Amino acid sequence: MNTRGEHVLKFDFSNCFKENLGTGFTVSELLTDASTVTHSLNYIEESVPGFLRILKTDESLNEVKSLEKWVQKFDSIVVIGIGGSALGNRALHSALKGFSWNDLSNNQREGKARVLVLDNVDPESFKVIIDKINFKNTLFNVISKSGTTVETMANYLVIRQLLENQGIPPKEHFLFTTDSKKGVLREIADKEGIRTLNIPHDVGGRFSVLTQVGLLSAMAEGINIEDLYEGAKKAVRKYINCEKPEENPLVVAALIFHKSIKQNKNISVMMPYSKRLYDFADWYRQLWAESLGKRYDLDGREVNIGQTPVKALGAIDQHSQIQLYNEGPNDKIITFIKVNEFSNEIKLPVYENIPDELQYLSGNDFSNLIIRELEGTAAALTNNGVQNMTVIFDKINESSIGDLIVFYELLTAVMGKLLNIDPYNQPGVELGKKITRLLMGKEEEDINEKIVKAKRRYLL
């Protein structure tokens, strides 16, 4: 908590340096390159990428709030989208509403909506979601910037048919969140008068959680989107205006990650010790992978750069992954996420007859145990020379989540600049989308059919 009583994020980088690891670089060695990051930050501030521009006004927030009354009529919101058009919604839901929200009654939720995400085209998981809702009081928010993504379009078509089969007017149960001018969804909306929200033209999917994409479902389930926005805006000021690079966690993190990539640490593990943040790690995986995984740099050189993001969950993955992280190839940098104050506590009992070996647990509590597990794991990794850092939450709330989102969006943008690549495109994703459409029988220009046929020859 800072002096104004606000919950702000803290960052512990101690285990990234020679002082603790016994190997690698010292704090002062790292900071000799600080000006490269501050220049990149200045460049990003001046070029105003979409994810920063949207936080300079309340346009996205106000557009979403204009639908508040209508949205309140629904018991459930089903987000139909994928990738950047779904992961942010799920991350906000898990972090700020927790796990049991969708199982509560309407009364217990005080009329706020349940939020479910239909992203895959796995026929079995589709049924699991559909079986949980009553179409008559469900709003389907179809989110797609391009308006062409096959999974989203397929889910939309099936839901539309199911609505029509029940005699429910699609116009009253669909909301399209899409580009303001282009795409099939825009065309259908214009023709049929379906309500829409605009996805800002300059914000790509994985940077869009704080636009209309993430805000509508968040508002519907009672997340305070003003506080989320305020937390995000404050974070922008904090990370961009910090005058001393050595006190700016964004500068220090960017320098550490940049060095780690240059030293062939090809894996970045995010390991929250709070299940509520596990879906945030999924959001981070997409952001880091799609933004930084690039074949060519901005000068057209083939660089095949990137860092594979991996998610793990504390304490569970201590019993699954940590052996490898400690003793396997030293090709990883680990980010732990620690939460100091949980919204629920479990006290361990004090028994008279408790076996001696378990006495240390007596009267303790789960939050203390899980935090000590994180600290023990970080210390073990440090002893093994594995770089690790910890992002610390006093408490998970709208403001601290806004801060976390901005931190990683800005960090990704800075990394793009340092690596001299375009963090906002995804040519590798586009190619796969095109080939899939071709395989499903749609004519696609610019695709060399041989790519597809050659792959088929490996079918055994």
Q: Is 204 in the site for ligand PA5 (CB under 6 A)?
A: yes
Gap between the Cα atoms of 89 and 102, Å rounded: 14
Q: Which two tokens stand for residue 307?
A: 């860092």
* Active-site residue (options: 132, 233, 234, 433): 433
**Whether residue 164 lies in the annotated active site:** no
What's the residue count for the chain?
A: 460
Q: Is 412 in the site for ligand PA5 (CB under 6 A)?
A: no
Show Cβ contacts of residue 387 under 8 Å, excluding neighbours closer than 6 positions: 15, 16, 21, 24, 256, 260, 265, 332, 333, 334
* Active-site residue (options: 151, 221, 290, 398): 290
CB atoms within 10 A of CB 56: 10
In order of 11, 28, 42, the CA distances from 242 in angstroms are: 15, 18, 11
Q: How far is the CB of 95 from ligand PA5 (least distance, A)?
A: 19
Q: Is 206 in the site for ligand PA5 (CB under 6 A)?
A: yes
Q: Which two tokens stand for residue 338?
A: 């620690």
Q: How far is the CB of 276 from ligand PA5 (least distance, A)?
A: 23
- Which among 3-11, 80-88, 234-242, 273-281 is the span making contact with ligand PA5, rule CB under 6 A? 80-88
Q: Which two tokens stand for residue 322?
A: 């940590």
Q: Is 205 in the site for ligand PA5 (CB under 6 A)?
A: yes
**Whether residue 39 lies in the annotated active site:** no
Nearer to ligand PA5, 55 or 80 (CB): 80
Nearer to ligand PA5, 203 or 378 (CB): 203
| Residue nearest ligand PA5 by beta-carbon distance | 205
Q: Is 285 in the site for ligand PA5 (CB under 6 A)?
A: no
* Closest of 302, 292, 251, 309 to residue 421, by C-alpha: 292
Q: Is 60 in the site for ligand PA5 (CB under 6 A)?
A: no
Q: Is 141 in the site for ligand PA5 (CB under 6 A)?
A: no
Size of the site for ligand PA5 (CB under 6 A): 15
Nearer to ligand PA5, 119 or 221 (CB): 119
Phi, psi of 68 (to 5 degrees): -55, -50
Phi, psi of 297 (to 5 degrees): -90, 180
**Whether residue 319 lies in the annotated active site:** yes
- Give, as one character, the DSSP assignment of residue 146: S
* Closest of 167, 184, 166, 164 to residue 176, by C-alpha: 184
What stretches of 230-286 adopt beta strand conformation (E)? 267-272
Nearer to ligand PA5, 206 or 285 (CB): 206
Q: Is 84 in the site for ligand PA5 (CB under 6 A)?
A: yes
Nearer to ligand PA5, 38 or 146 (CB): 146
- Which among 202-210, 223-231, 337-345, 444-452 is the span making contact with ligand PA5, rule CB under 6 A? 202-210
Q: Is 210 in the site for ligand PA5 (CB under 6 A)?
A: no
Q: How far is the CB of 207 from ligand PA5 (least distance, A)?
A: 8
* Closest of 349, 374, 347 to residue 359, by C-alpha: 349
Residue window 422-441: x/- pattern of binding to ligand PA5, with contact defined by CB under 6 A: ----x--x------------
Gap between the Cα atoms of 416 and 404, Å rounded: 18
Please state whether the peptide bond connecting residue 220 to the residue before it is cis, i.e. omega within 30 degrees of 0. Answer: no
Phi, psi of 310 (to 5 degrees): -130, 140
Q: How far is the CB of 150 from ligand PA5 (least distance, A)?
A: 9
**How many Å separate Cα 19 from the centre of its chain?**
32
Q: How far is the CB of 90 from ligand PA5 (least distance, A)?
A: 13
**What is the per-residue DSSP string for 289-312?**
HHHH-EEE-TTS-EEEE--EEEE-
Q: Is 138 in the site for ligand PA5 (CB under 6 A)?
A: no
At 140, which helix (H) or strand (E)?
A: strand 138-144
- Which among 66-74, 146-154, 217-225, 393-401 is the span making contact with ligand PA5, rule CB under 6 A? 146-154
Q: Is 145 in the site for ligand PA5 (CB under 6 A)?
A: yes
Nearer to ligand PA5, 82 or 218 (CB): 82
Pick the binder of ligand PA5 from 38, 40, 152, 377 (CB under 6 A). 152
- Give, as one character, the DSSP assignment of residue 200: P
Q: How far is the CB of 255 from ligand PA5 (least distance, A)?
A: 26
* Active-site residue (options: 69, 181, 244, 319): 319
In order of 308, 417, 424, the CA distances from 44 in angstroms are: 24, 8, 13
Gap between the Cα atoms of 179 and 143, Å rounded: 10
Q: Is 397 in the site for ligand PA5 (CB under 6 A)?
A: no
Active site residues: 290, 319, 433
Residues near ligand PA5 (CB under 6 A) are 82-85, 144-146, 149, 152, 204-206, 290, 426, 429
